[in-house]
Amino acid sequence: MSDTGSTGAPQVVTTAMDGDIAIITINSPPVNALGHAVREGLTLALAAAKADRAIKGIVIACAGRTFCAGADITEFGKPRKAPSLADVIVALEGIAKPVIAAVHGTTLGGGLELAMACHLRIAAPGTRLGLPEVKLGILPGAGGTQRLPRAIGPLKALERIVSGDPMTAADALADGLVHAIAEGDLTAAAIALARATVASGQLPPLLRDDERKLVSVRAERAAFDAAARDLLKRKRGQEAPAACAKAVANALDLPFDQGVAAEGEAFLHLVAGEQSRAQRHIFFAEREALKIPGVGPEMKPRRVAKAAVIGAGTMGGGIAMCFANVGIPVVLIDTTEEAVMRGRGIIEKNYRNTAARGGLSAADVDQRLGLITTASSIEAAADADLVIEAVFENMAVKQQLFAALDKIAKPGAILATNTSTLDVDVIASATKRPSDVLGMHFFSPANVMKLLEVVRAKTTAPDALATAMAVGRQINKTAVVSGVCDGFIGNRMLAKRSIEAERLILEGADLAAVDATVVEFGFPMGPYAMADLAGLDVGWRIRQARGTKAVISDALCEAGRFGQKTGRGYFLYESGGRIPKTDPDVTALIAAKAKALGLTQRDVGADEVLERMLYPMINEAARILDEGIALRPSDIDVVWVFGYGWPAWRGGPMHYADSVGLGKIAARLSDYAAQTGDASLQPAPLLARLAGEGRGFASLSAKARSM
Ligand code: NAD
């Protein structure tokens, strides 16, 4: 059979025969997304296979690295071109011959929905199967919410669909989603299964007709509802998880076709909504962030087969784990044997805790620990392809270290600093190879937090930058390029929020109420609880070094209140706990400081609190863009979603600002500048200009893309 159509264009769906079994293969790189051409190809191939009497059974498989990994997201929000996936599935289920899905790779979203419409599913080992739609603010829209409960039971389906997390092939087999795991050639095994099913003379029931797993849960609806409530507790404010839970409940309550119809309506409602638009924006923004002007795909990253991390403290340990987690050997170095062993001990404890919770096997722990060697001299970094420095935040210490590294590191090694506040250009100048120096700014805890700011110094070579970005991907981080400035993208914006957080409580806002407003917006924590978690002393030391002040935070530190680590900060943490309690001493301290400053405290409304928590950061972001520190507005969104817990369903600060309207934000900033007497709150030139032109930040991205 030919692989090309009459136009010469490669066909995305082809049919081959093995005796009386038809093998329909989808071949649409890179991930066999179910775009229009694939849907159309499938419809034609299925119709032909149905009509051909010589065909007794059908296998649906995919070429390349994965079975269909989902819908073509670029089609969302546009008018849908028939046939839809739902149409394909109706056609598929109308075939009275055994249809076997042969799945491998990432069988996700529409891919799994297609597979679930087949009579049987066989998976390659290592396949991951799931319905991740909720992560894009939608729900599975081609029957997934009705078929998965029938396949694995409503409770498990509820958990999977609300979380969006995939399952392993082994779990899928145990739970009844797949019928076999193919050892050896997947297609051959699928053909054998099709042949055996034909020989049995019986069509296995389609999931749509199979209610066996629904029966017991129908009898215990209260338990199902409680599980749904529990799952949704952690999804405050979000529409998609609630719609997912409702759809799974429909599988219990409604006949199949009505459940599918309700799912379709919910899909259309969600896909047209603000939240899904925001989440899709973040999905594309994360990918866009990898594109760097002047660093094209032809720029080959350098090879990184071994890493070294210098400084075995809070950050160094976490960074070393990132490498071991993906199989890259890493040497962890500190000044003394004692310091490095302390660091390694914490890593070991971390891994053992994960294993105890079932997140890692004992063999994995040993394998990862085996990749982390230790040393008390930087000579051990001599054969590393990438060296990441995470020593004390002190310019003299860092410069000395980089000068020493310059003498021993192998030629071409990338020398990276994890500094949060120091000038990477100055650090680079301590070496005779400044083109190999850049920043790799991790976030604490480094083995957990997704964000990595890759800091491009003036002298950084393009291929060094490309290497850091590639390493970021390799260690499963979301990497964003930042120019050199105080605080880079994220912390520079955060600093503006911190100033406002100080002001608000001096003016009379209640600490807990401000935190609650920020949490209500969708952040995991408010500014004071977050400062208490990070440790108030960190900022205090930086301010002392710079000769700057923060009235309340300084006073708390002077009183030995460093946050959670001392059991007291902005809040009180009883007996080593993590639950913040209001402390009357702090309320009194704030009132006294306000009085000393001659301020009359007042009630501050929640709207004002929210605006002052967000708009000054947006204003700073406009300066960051104007100065070219961030390459594009969407990079700033990625930084805030992956590094600071900005709710993805609000799309990050730039996307959010556009949804509010820059005109309103500029006007409110002017008001707050007048109210506080802080001229820096006046709209930044870029913000003022865009607001004046009635434009949004997104218009800058569109322009950058067209260049
Ligand atoms: P830390 O104090 O926990 O650890 C620093 C480690 O470096 C210590 O173990 C110390 O013994 C070691 N050290 C000091 N000088 C050294 C030298 N010359 N050679 C080898 N080892 C040396 O500090 P940390 O919190 O891990 O911070 C490290 C760096 O990461 C700083 O630059 C900091 O600004 C940055 N950073 C910290 C955070 C955070 O949240 N803690 C976040 C991002 C970046």
Q: What is the mean pLDDT of the chain?
A: 95
The total number of residues written for the chain in this structure: 707
Q: Is the CB of 417 under 6 A from ligand 1?
A: no
Report, as an integer, the average pLDDT of 516-534: 96
Q: Is the CB of 422 under 6 A from ligand 1?
A: no
Instruction: Give me ligand 1 centre to Cα 536, in Å.
Output: 17
Active site includes 133? yes
Instruction: Give me ligand 1 centre to Cα 330, in Å.
Output: 17
Q: Is the CB of 374 under 6 A from ligand 1?
A: no
Atom of ligand 1 nearest to the CA of 400: 18
Report, as an integer, the average pLDDT of 148-175: 97
What are φ and ψ of residue 69, in 5° steps?
Answer: -90, 5
Atom of ligand 1 nearest to the CA of 340: 9
pLDDT at 129 over 70: yes
Instruction: Give me ligand 1 centre to Cα 647, in Å.
Output: 29
Q: Is the CB of 403 under 6 A from ligand 1?
A: no
Q: What is the distance between the alpha carbons of residues 610 and 437, in angstroms, rounded to a whole number?
A: 39
DSSP 632-700: SHHHHHHHHHHHS---GGGTHHHHHHHHH-HHHHHHHHHHHHHHHT-GGGSPPHHHHHHHHTT--THHH
Angle between helices 144-152 and 239-253 (to 10 degrees): 60
The per-residue pLDDT for 604 is 97
Per-residue pLDDT band for 14 (boundaries 50, 70, 90) equals very high
Taking only the tens place, the pLDDT of each residue in 407-451 is 999 999 999 999 999 999 999 999 999 999 999 999 999 999 999
Best CA proximity match to 501, nearest among 556, 553, 538: 553
Whether 651 maps to a domain, the answer reads: no
Whether 660 maps to a domain, the answer reads: no
Do 414 and 548 belong to one domain?
A: no
Q: Is the CB of 399 under 6 A from ligand 1?
A: no
DSSP 29-94: TTT----HHHHHHHHHHHHHHHH-TT--EEEEEE-TT-S--S--GGGTTSPPPSSPHHHHHHHHHT
Do 343 and 448 belong to one domain?
A: yes
Instruction: Give me ligand 1 centre to Cα 313, in Å.
Output: 5
Report, as an integer, the average pLDDT of 634-654: 97
Taking only the tens place, the pLDDT of each residue in 182-220 is 999 999 999 999 999 999 999 999 999 999 999 989 988
Taking only the tens place, the pLDDT of each residue in 433-444 is 999 999 999 999
Taking only the tens place, the pLDDT of each residue in 509-524 is 999 999 999 999 999 9
Q: Is the CB of 427 under 6 A from ligand 1?
A: no
Q: Is the CB of 610 under 6 A from ligand 1?
A: no
Residue 373 near residue 331, CB atoms below 8 Å = yes
The per-residue pLDDT for 706 is 39
- Torsional sign, CA 210, 212, 215, 218: negative
Do 203 and 106 belong to one domain?
A: yes
Pocket test for ligand 1, best of 309, 314, 389 (most atoms within 8 A of CB): 314
pLDDT at 140 over 70: yes
Residue 545 near residue 574, CB atoms below 8 Å = no
- CATH code, domain with 474: 3.40.50.720
Do 445 and 564 belong to one domain?
A: no
Among the three residues 603, 632, 661, which one is the final residue of a domain in this structure? 603
Q: What is the distance between the alpha carbons of residues 46 and 13, in angstroms, rounded to a whole number?
A: 10
Pocket test for ligand 1, best of 420, 450, 454 (most atoms within 8 A of CB): 420
Do 318 and 397 belong to one domain?
A: yes
Report, as an integer, the average pLDDT of 276-302: 93
Atom of ligand 1 nearest to the CA of 421: 34
The per-residue pLDDT for 1 is 38
Q: Which residues pair with 454 in a beta bridge?
A: 440, 481
pLDDT at 388 over 70: yes
Query: Ligand 1: which residue has its CA nearest to atom 40?
Result: 444
Q: Which domain holds residue 132?
A: 2-271
pLDDT at 9 over 60: no
Do 373 and 426 belong to one domain?
A: yes
Instruction: Give me ligand 1 centre to Cα 563, in Å.
Output: 20
Whether 664 maps to a domain, the answer reads: no
Q: Is the CB of 240 under 6 A from ligand 1?
A: no
Q: Is the CB of 420 under 6 A from ligand 1?
A: yes
Do 261 and 113 belong to one domain?
A: yes
Q: What is the distance between the alpha carbons of residues 616 and 621, in angstroms, rounded to a whole number?
A: 9
Among the three residues 603, 631, 646, which one is the final residue of a domain in this structure? 603
Structure letter (DSSP) for residue 292: B
pLDDT at 705 over 80: no
Q: Is the CB of 401 under 6 A from ligand 1?
A: yes
pLDDT at 704 over 70: no
- CATH code, domain with 197: 3.90.226.10
| SS3 at position 597 | coil
Q: Is the CB of 392 under 6 A from ligand 1?
A: yes
Q: Is the CB of 318 under 6 A from ligand 1?
A: no
The per-residue pLDDT for 2 is 37
Atom of ligand 1 nearest to the CA of 343: 9
Do 456 and 525 belong to one domain?
A: no
Q: Is the CB of 405 under 6 A from ligand 1?
A: no
Whether 300 maps to a domain, the answer reads: no
Report, as an integer, the average pLDDT of 580-603: 96
Do 479 and 515 belong to one domain?
A: no
Lowest average pLDDT, out of 6-20, 221-235, 337-351, goes to: 6-20
Whether 297 maps to a domain, the answer reads: no
Whether 34 maps to a domain, the answer reads: yes
260 vs 234, residue with greater confidence: 260
Residue 241 near residue 136, CB atoms below 8 Å = no
The per-residue pLDDT for 220 is 87
Marked catalytic residue, from 133, 239, 286, 611: 133
Taking only the tens place, the pLDDT of each residue in 600-631 is 999 999 999 999 999 999 999 999 999 999 99
Instruction: Give me ligand 1 centre to Cα 317, in Å.
Output: 10
The per-residue pLDDT for 702 is 61
pLDDT at 243 over 70: yes
Best CA proximity match to 176, nearest among 139, 216, 210: 210
Q: What is the distance between the alpha carbons of residues 671 and 494, in angstroms, rounded to a whole number?
A: 21
Per-residue pLDDT band for 296 (boundaries 50, 70, 90) equals confident
Residue 108: its H or E element: strand 106-108
The per-residue pLDDT for 324 is 98
Longest dimension (CA), the chain: 92
- CATH code, domain with 528: 1.10.1040.50
Whether 77 maps to a domain, the answer reads: yes
Marked catalytic residue, from 75, 93, 113, 274: 113
Residue carrying structure tokens 């799952």: 231
Residue 441: its H or E element: strand 437-442
Do 401 and 349 belong to one domain?
A: yes
The per-residue pLDDT for 61 is 98
Atom of ligand 1 nearest to the CA of 316: 26
Among the three residues 453, 470, 486, which one is the final residue of a domain in this structure? 486
Instruction: Give me ligand 1 centre to Cα 393, in Å.
Output: 6
Instruction: Give me ligand 1 centre to Cα 468, in Å.
Output: 20
Taking only the tens place, the pLDDT of each residue in 536-584 is 998 999 899 889 999 999 999 999 999 999 999 999 999 878 899 999 9
Do 346 and 419 belong to one domain?
A: yes
Do 441 and 372 belong to one domain?
A: yes
Query: Ligand 1: which residue has its CA nearest to atom 35?
Result: 419
Q: Is the CB of 482 under 6 A from ligand 1?
A: no
The per-residue pLDDT for 6 is 44
Number of domains in the chain: 3
What residue type is assigned to position 400 of the chain? Answer: Q
Active site includes 620? no
The per-residue pLDDT for 5 is 41
Instruction: Give me ligand 1 centre to Cα 535, in Å.
Output: 15
Instruction: Give me ligand 1 centre to Cα 390, in Å.
Output: 4
Query: Ligand 1: which residue has its CA nearest to atom 31?
Result: 393
Pocket test for ligand 1, best of 344, 391, 402 (most atoms within 8 A of CB): 391
Whether 699 maps to a domain, the answer reads: no
Taking only the tens place, the pLDDT of each residue in 331-353 is 999 999 999 999 999 999 999 99
